[in-house]
């Protein structure tokens, strides 16, 4: 029997930039990548959702603060509350924090400079739907490109929710936190861009480990639903 290609949605907000790279990367990793316009309210036919990087709604007020009120974000909240897999990358991570699906907030980089370079990351938690292809403690090289990536956790954040940590903290994140998940483990956000690191021609293919883990997990969801 042929393995089903899981349907993974990528939301496009006004101001999203990396939605097409995310669609391309997911398709390259054998998912059916589905563009989701920000006015869409129904995600019921999807096996996972990705919120991409960019500057949704101009990032006015605070990064991700306005995108939180879009119809697609409301649908993503319902999808996540029902146990659906949601991955937020960069601006997508900021939106998930503003929407309360992930703990913490992302503030202006400590240096006040936009940082755009490869970042070395350590996998702190590898048994998640987003990291199952990684080993615990594995070092990944995935690019970051952001001006507002300094992660501030809420008081008393469970260390088990820290999924990725920077080896050389590029933005002043507290405890070098680069990616976190929710308590249930079905929602994850990270500032680095795995969708820009799926082909060795572009310097690193370590991002494919994250996205292929998501595709594996979404495929299991598709099989269970079939």
Partner 1 sequence: MRATVLVRPKPGILDPQGEAVGSALGHLGFEVRDARVGKVIDFEVDATNAADAKAKVERMCEQLLANPLIESYEIEVTA
Which residues carry out catalysis?
Answer: 90, 193, 195
Let me know: does 106 contact 151? Beta carbons within 8 Å. Answer: yes
User: For partner 1, which is the closer residue by CB, 110 or 118?
Assistant: 110
Q: How far is the CB of 221 from partner 1 (least distance, A)?
A: 31
* Residues 6+ positions from 27 with CB-CB distance below 8 Å: 33
The pair phi, psi for residue 76, each rounded to 5°, is: -65, -40
Let me know: does 201 contact 18? Beta carbons within 8 Å. Answer: no
CA atoms within 13 A on the CB side of 171: 29
Q: How far is the CB of 154 from partner 1 (least distance, A)?
A: 6
Q: How far is the CB of 105 from partner 1 (least distance, A)?
A: 5
User: For partner 1, which is the closer residue by CB, 6 or 170?
Assistant: 170
Q: How far is the CB of 132 from partner 1 (least distance, A)?
A: 30
By the criterion CB under 8 A, which residues form the site for partner 1?
Answer: 61-62, 65, 98, 104-105, 107-112, 150, 152, 154, 172
Other Cβ atoms within 10 Å of 132 Cβ, number: 16
Distance between CA atoms of residues 133 and 127, nearest Å: 9
Paired tokens of 158:
């469970």
User: For partner 1, which is the closer residue by CB, 44 or 111?
Assistant: 111
User: For partner 1, which is the closer residue by CB, 29 or 77?
Assistant: 77
- Per-residue burial over 69-93, b if 16 or more Cβ lie within 10 Å, else e, is ebebbebbbebbeeebbbbbbbbbb
User: For partner 1, which is the closer residue by CB, 137 or 156?
Assistant: 156
Q: How far is the CB of 99 from partner 1 (least distance, A)?
A: 12
Other Cβ atoms within 10 Å of 46 Cβ, number: 24
SS3 23: helix
């Amino acid at each position: 029997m042929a393995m089903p290609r899981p349907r993974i949605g990528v939301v496009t907000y006004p101001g999203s930039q990396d939605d097409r790279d995310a669609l391309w990367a997911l398709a390259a990793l054998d998912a059916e990548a589905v563009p989701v316009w920000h006015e869409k309210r129904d995600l019921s036919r999807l096996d996972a959702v990705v919120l991409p990087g960019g500057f949704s709604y101009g990032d006015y007020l605070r990064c991700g603060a306005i995108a939180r009120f879009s119809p697609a974000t409301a649908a993503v909240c319902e999808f996540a509350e029902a146990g659906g897999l949601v991955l937020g990358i960069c601006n997508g991570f900021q939106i998930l924090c503003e929407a309360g699906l992930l703990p913490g907030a992302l503030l202006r980089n400590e240096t006040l400079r936009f940082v755009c370079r490869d970042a070395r990351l350590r996998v702190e938690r590898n048994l998640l739907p987003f990291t199952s292809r990684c080993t615990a403690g594995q070092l990944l090289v995935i690019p970051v490109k952001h001006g507002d990536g300094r992660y501030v956790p809420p008081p008393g954040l469970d260390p088990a929710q820290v999924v990725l940590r920077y080896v050389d903290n590029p933005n002043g994140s507290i405890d070098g936190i680069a990616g976190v998940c929710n308590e249930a483990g079905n929602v994850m956000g990270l500032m680095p861009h795995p969708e820009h690191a799926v082909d060795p021609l572009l310097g690193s293919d370590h991002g494919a480990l994250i996205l292929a883990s998501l595709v594996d997990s979404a495929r299991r969801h598709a099989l269970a639903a079939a």
